[in-house]
Every structure is written in structure tokens, then in C-alpha cells.
Chain A
Amino acid sequence: METILQTYYFYPNETVVWSLMIVLYPFISGMVAGTFITGALSKAFGIAYLEPIFKPALVASVSFLCFATLPLMLHLEQPTRAAYIFITPHLTSAMSGFGYIYMGFLVLVIVMIWYAFRPNFVAKASSGGLKGVFYKLICLGVTKISKASYEHDQKVIKALAVIGIPFACILTGYVGFVFAAVKTNMWWSSALTPVVFILSAMVCGLAFTIILYHVHAKLTKTAVSSDCVRGLVRYLWGFLLFAITLELLELLHLAYYETDYWSIIREMLEGNLAMSYWGAQVVVGGVIPLLLLSYILFVNVSERTRSMLAYFSSFLLILQVFSMRWNVVIGGQLLSKTYLGVQEWNLEIGGREGLVAGVMVVLAPVVLLAILRKWLLTDPEVRPGSI
């Protein structure tokens, strides 16, 4: 193999163009898709033990969905021109379709939420004053629910879940494809990238749902269903295993080919990205939770231990997925297009794409979720007979 790293060189225009906001864009999109699929599983496949997390996961999904484009808007040099992507889409671009996919999915999730919470809205529509008017408007004037219409709603929810699961995969896989379509960046340009994005979206969606379920149960002083937690952990273990395997296979593939590019990838993974890749993504966020989840699944543990370890592992897994997004987005730009060097880059604290703005972007959907949880998830379950 020719020794090429005798020199260190970047083109003078090279810099990290996509920073924290573009890390958050696939992270939040993944959260949208992951939580949606987690919630929809119970309806699409009739998995009864996952029923308790259907509504929390759906509300989490819409909370993240509302802010999925915020990092993009903060990143754009010309955010006021963002609508051009709808008005004059350039269809050869992998990016041009995102707006349509996003809007389509947004409509689907809102319709699904409406159907899922319609009995609650109808129940509240009978109250007087402005509140009653508000709920009458939301119910589109229909203030009664019969057994037949309830069953019809459940059928629609099932249909939306069946359509929504592949739609969510397209949403997050498509974000992966935006990176994979950059032909000259070997760190991104792989057919596996969209698949890895889908799997890691499932990991963070399941992990977030486990956390949300525990927090919600604590706040409403209700019991956590151990069957539900066990089921979520089983899915989480499986998706995590696939995600880690594919991530490492991709790396192994690059290493085995020993192209010019591998020299700088190796240098990056041993240097600038060592902590976030080996430390955060592989060990702390990957291997440790995998071991913990295996322990929960294959060793007979008490319900309390299972819940605690699942809850703790979920935080580590969200860190894993965030690190993975970071390593993909930032890592791909640290590698010089000359194949002759790895850039130094530090995240700025202030500014439109700095750490403070990033924290706010991450907190925004969590705050919305807290509001929606209070509004939608604290009412008792309403059935046709009770209205």
C-alpha cells in the first residue's frame, strides 16, 4: 500500500459546513420514526402487551415531529427561502423529497392522534363554556361515539399504523440516504447508511419510550406493566444488536479494503473521533447497554431490577444514537476530500448552530411532550359506553 499520509493537506475552502444542527436533524427525525413505530406495533400487529405505550409513544412522536425541521431551519443560510424546496424542488437531489415526506408523515400522525384521542375529546365536548366550544371544534361537531363508530376508529388506527410503519422507515431511512448520496465521501457513501439510520432510529425510539413510560407511570402514580417493559426490552435488544453489528460491519468493510480513504479514517478514529466513537458510541452507548439488556432478558431478575436496568440502559442508548449521528455527520467532514488529512474542529458555544442553541432544540420537543402528556395522557381511558 502506498504511504500517502506523509503529508497533511486540506483544500483551503474545506471546513465543517454541517455542524450540530445537522447532527440533531437525523437524531430528531430518528426519534420521530422510532417512537412512532414503537407505538404503532401494538395496533398494526395486535401486540396486546405493548398497548400501554401506544398513546405515549404517539404523543412523543408528534412532539419530536413538530421540531424535526427546526435544526434544518437554523442551519440554512437563507431560512426565509426554505419554501423553495417545495416550490422549485430539484428532483435529482436526495434532499428535495424530504419536505414532502415530512409533510405527509405529519398529516398521518396528526390524523392518527385525532382518532386515538377522539373519545376523550368527545367526552370533554359536553362541558360548557369556551372549553366545550374548543373540544366541539376539535371533534368537528360530532359529540357522540357509538360502539360501531369506536370500532371503526380502531380500524382506521390500525390502517394508519400499518401505513405509518413503512412511512416512518422511509422518513428516517431517507435522512440516511441524504448522506449516503454524497458520492465522494466514503464515510457516508454506503448503501448500509440508510439501513443503519433506520435501526438506530428504532433503538432510540424504543429507549425513549421506555423512559417516557416510566416517567409517565411515576407522575400518574400508576403501575408499570412488566409484560410491556419486557416486550420493549426484547425489541430493544434485537434492534441494538443489529444496529451495532451493521455499524461495525461497515467499518470492517472499509478497513478490509484498505483504500486511500481508510488511512485517514483510521487516523480519525484513533484521534479526533476516538472518544465519541469508541468511547460513547461503541462502549458506553453500545456494549454496556447490550450487556445490561442481555442480563435482563436471559437472567431471572426481579421486576424492579428489570425496570431500573431498562430505564438506565435507555439513557445510554440515546447517548449511543446521538454519538452515532455525531460521528457520521461530523466525522464525514473531518476527513479531507484530498484523502490527506483529518481536520480539527471545535463546537462553538453560542451562535445559531452552537451548543446552547442545540440544547434548546433538543429541549423544545421534550417541553412540548410534557405539555401534551398533561393534556392528552392524564385523562382516564374513555370507552363508547361511558360517553
Chain B
Amino acid sequence: MTELSRRSFIVTTSAAAMSCGLASYALAGAGEEHTYEFMVDPSKCIGCIHCVKACILENDVPEHNFRTWIERYTFKKDQTFIVESPNGGLDGFGEPDVDPKDIKKAVFIPKLCNQCDNTPCLQVCPVGATYMGPEGLIHIDSEHCIGCGYCIQSCPYGARFYNHETGAADKCDWCYHRISKGMVPACVEVCPTEARRFSIDGSDPLIASEKNEGNTRGLRQSIGTEPKLAYLGLEEKVR
């Protein structure tokens, strides 16, 4: 048996350690990354609230908080409008408190986290508990969140809330635990009218084509948050 010199021992073990390190780094980075797209078509939403209920069940959302909710915009002929979302829509909408003759149109607007590219919630988190995943989605590490509420203040869409059960900030993550397994988010799954559509790696070509034709836009684009969530034919007054 050949004797190993101290020099060659050090060289061999160092090389082996480096190889292991590089291999594990390569494997870690080799996780599949997907492209996720979410599109909401308000003209198809009937305000049935199945999506809100499904979200609450799927994500254990505490009472009176919402990862997704439905708003009803009633546009009047005099250019004004009324917005309602009784308990996120769960309490039902009823008839609008407007003389029917004055109504121009009414539309339901599903709301959820916009997964902004230039996201203020991520910027303000003082400990990095809010972070952007490799697919560009914004996540919260509830084990690391200190619960300061800065992200809740900074989200212009009201998508975040304190989850007093986890003691951390909470919000919609497009059901990451589902979409990372190839399923669609719970709200999309139960939507009976396809008002919510979701695409994994281009699985729903309609989303791409509507985007390419310029028919979609993000919510409150003027504030510069660059939301990924796309709305089809959205009224400018919707906020």
C-alpha cells in the first residue's frame, strides 16, 4: 500500500472538500424554477365569493383578515362610483345603495397580493423576513418576522395583515405550496367563471396573448410598484 505524504493528504482532502462544496452548490441551484402568471378578468367575476372561502380554508386565514377579497365597484352615470366589500365580500353584497337608473355599470374586482417587482414591503422589512423567491414571488418567513408592521404600512394595496395566530405579517403568496407542486392556487381552482386564471410556464396561453396584446395592466400602476398580477380590462378608477 502506498504511503500518503502529508502534503498530498492535504491536497487530496482539500480537493475532495471543494468538489463536495461545488457539487452541493450546483445541486442547490439546480432546483426547477418556473414562471408563474396570474390574470384576473373582472368582467367574468360574479362575486360568488367561492375564491375567498377557498383561500380561508386553504391557508387558515384568521377571521376578519383576507389574503384575497372581492370588491364591488358601482359606477354611476355622473362619473362617481361606490366601492363596497362587506367583510371581504363574505357578508354578501346585496343591491347597491344607488337608484338603478343612475347606475352605468357595476363590476366585481377580485383582490390579492400583486406580487410587485418593485415592492415596498420587501424594501422596508428591517430583518429580511420578507424576501423575493427565485421565481419573483414575495414570501414571508414567519419564523423570522419580528412583527413590527412596517411592511403592512408600506403595502399600498392593503394586502398584508398581522396574523395573530402566527405572530407574523401575512399575505397571499399565490398558494406557493400548491403552485410549486404544479397545481393552481385554491382561488383559481374554485372560480366557476374563470375570472381568475393562472399559468405555470405558459400553461395558459390566453394570459400570454392578452398581455402581449396590451389588454392587461396592473393595479395603480402610477405608484411604480410594478405589480405582476395582471388585470384584464381594468377600469382606471379601481384602486
Q: Given known contacts A3-B80, A6-B82, is B66 in contact with A12 (CB within 8 Å)? A: yes
Q: Do residues A17 and B153 form an inter-chain contact, with CB atoms below 8 A?
A: yes
A88 and B144 contacting across the interface, CB-CB below 8 Å? yes
List, in ascending order, chain B residues with CB within 8 A of A10's CB: 158
How many angstroms from the CA of A81 to the CA of B85 in the assembled complex?
A: 35
Residues A77 and B147 in contact, CB atoms below 8 Å apart: yes
Partner of A85, one of B69, B80, B83, B146: B146
CA distance A298 to B186 in the complex (A): 72
The reply to whether the CB of A93 lies closer than 8 angstroms to some CB of chain B is yes
Q: What is the predominant secondary structure among interface residues of chain A facing chain B?
A: loop
Q: Which of B80, B123, B144, B150 neighbours the largest number of chain A CB atoms within 10 Å of its CB? A: B150
Specify which of A77, A79, A88, A185 is in contact with B162 (CB 8 Å cutoff). A77
Question: In the bound complex, do residue A94 and residue B147 qualify as a contact, i.e. CB atoms below 8 Å apart?
Answer: no
Q: Is B223 close to A, CB under 8 A?
A: yes
B176 at the interface (CB under 8 A from A): no
Asked if residues A11 and B157 are in contact (CB atoms below 8 Å), the reply is: yes
Whether the pair A338, B239 counts as a contact (CB closer than 8 A) is yes
Contact of A78 among B71, B82, B126, B168 (CB under 8 A): B168
What 0/1 pattern do residues 1 to 40 of A give for CB contact below 8 A with B? 0111011011111110110000000000000000000000
Number of A residues, CB within 8 Å of B: 43
* Chain A 78-110 near chain B by CB (<8 Å), digits 1 or 0: 110110110011101111100000000000000
Chain A nearest CB, measured from B116 CB (Å): 11
Q: How far is the CA of A84 from the CA of B152 in the complex (A)?
A: 19
Interface residues of B, dominant DSSP: loop
0/1 string, B151-192, CB within 8 A of A gives 1: 011111111111010011000000000000000000000000
- The reply on B218 being an interface residue by CB < 8 A is no
Q: What is the 8 Å Cβ interface bit string for chain A, positions 170-189, against chain B (1 contact, 0 not)?
A: 00000000100111110000
Q: Does B227 contact A (CB under 8 A)?
A: no
B84 at the interface (CB under 8 A from A): yes
Task: Assess whether A9 is in contact with B83, with CB atoms less than 8 Å apart.
Answer: yes
Q: List 16 A-B contacts (CB under 8 A).
A: A3-B80, A6-B76, A13-B152, A13-B160, A18-B149, A77-B145, A77-B162, A79-B146, A84-B146, A85-B126, A85-B146, A88-B144, A96-B126, A178-B150, A183-B120, A184-B154
